[in-house]
Amino acid sequence: MVKKKLKGLILVIILLGVGNNISSRKLNFNIMEKWT
């Protein structure tokens, strides 16, 4: 049970990290478009 919960937490953390990376990339792209 505990191992399954840990795996779930790790998956959630990875998904959140990927989501943050994608959103930050989009923000950087928008900033670059505004400056150029």
Query: pLDDT class for 36, splitting at 50, 70, 90?
Result: low
Cα three-residue angle 34-35-36, rounded to 5 degrees: 95
Query: pLDDT class for 8, splitting at 50, 70, 90?
Result: very high
pTM of the model: 0.57
DSSP state letters, the chain = -HHHHHHHHHHHHHHHHHHHHHHHHHHHHHHHHHH-
